[in-house]
Structure 1
Amino acid sequence: MTSVCPLAQEKVWFDKPKYDLAEKKYYERLAKIDDIANMTSPSAVIEVSNRLNSLEKENTDLKQKVGELTALLAKLEIRVKDLEKGNKSVGLQAVTPNSTVASQAVAKAAHAGSQASANVKTAGSQAKSQPAKQDDDDDGVDLFASESEEEDEEANKIKEQRLAEYAAKKSKKPALIAKSSIILDVKPWDDETDMKEMEKRVRQIEADGLLWGASKLVPLAYGIHKLQINCVVEDDKISIDWLQETIEEIEDYVQSVDIAAFNKI
């Protein structure tokens, strides 16, 4: 017993991969056979046959509709040809009477022209044979001169009247007055300045063409506020420099005056 190979006593299955591969192939073949069996089952066959029947029916309907459309198109072509033939015949019939009427009209026009020329010749000969006494009697006489002069005088009067009315209307219109809207920044000396009294002194400045508006206090720094006041002035009556100098004359309250905004109205 001691001479036996030690590997013979080991319980190792060296051929297991071969068996696994064989088992895998076996189950794959079984799966393929199952698919084939499912495909050949009665339910699958019925479904396929139903689809084939529906497709055949749709194909038949399409063929029928195509045939109907083809027949309709053929009828339309025949109808168009008949209409074209009818239009040609009507056109020929219409051309013949029109040509006849035109020829008759030309003949009538020619006859009328010959008669008119004859009448003109007759009238010319009669005019030459008549004496020209009336022309000699009427020389130097203008029957309508007085009427034309009166019409000219009336037209001139109407024209002058309208010009006078226009000038009166123009003079009544009020002339445009040029105005400006100004926002002034009035700065005090310090934070102890009485701003209400300063505004009161500023508004006491009155002049023709000066109108004071709204005002407010705008903070500057260190508790100091400036008075921002709006006014409207007439440019021809009030000078901005004069207004600034007049406000600066309030020396007890006003340090300086600046223009914050200026707009023409």
Structure 2
Amino acid sequence: MATTPLAQEKVWFEKPMYDKAECLHFERLAKGGPQLSSPNVSARGSLANEVAKIRQHIKQSLQCVDTIDTFSRTSGSGSEYGSRIVALEKENQEYKNIVAELKNITRQLEERVKILEERLPGIDPMRIAICPAKPPSPTPAKPTAKADDDDDVDLFGSDSEGEDEEAAKVREERLAAYAAKKSKKPALIAKSNIILDVKPWDDETDMKVMETEVRKIETEGLLWGAAKLVPLAYGIQKLQISSVVEDEKVSVDWLTEQIEAIEDYVQSVDIAAFNKI
């Protein structure tokens, strides 16, 4: 709410006029002295009354200005409450619109249900079987196997002892052949693929010579693979080399110790990757 100009500016535009009147009054009092006649006394009294009235009027005007200023400040806080009330009314109206929309949707659904019921006269929708289950089909009875009483009867006089000896001989031959075949099958060898990071002392180390020295390490069950140079920092590179070792013949600790023994070129050795084959 905008404040009035009178509340913003506390200026007394008529003050010079009142000051002049007051000055004139006191000048007359000083000039007249105690020997003034009664008309002068009455004039001084009327002028004093006028000055008193003017002062009272000024005082009332200032009080009115203070009242207007206070009202303007109070009305400013009231505008804040008014904005809140407007926001609540807007929110209430939105809720009313949502409820009206839901009622409209419900009415449309009721109309559609009513149309469907009219298209199906004499049928209760609650009793319609959507997917009736099929009755379980009776499982046919399995025919009972007749006991063969003639299996235990040896109609022909066969020589069972000779057949038992031949069957035992065949079984022994088959077992011997299976054992020989199994002994020829090679046993599985556990192997591991190890990628090593070999770090030099400084950037002046000859990396090709260092790789050659590392590959000179040979033993049974050790196979060196590809190698490459990987940058570290400040121009220093490390040698990353892969190897395949047999777990029973070569240990990782032994391999790292052998590489670290090349003290002229190798500073340290780290395991970058370790995978079973």
- TM (norm. structure 2) is 0.43
- Structure with bigger helix share is 1
TM-score computed with the length of structure 1 as normaliser = 0.45
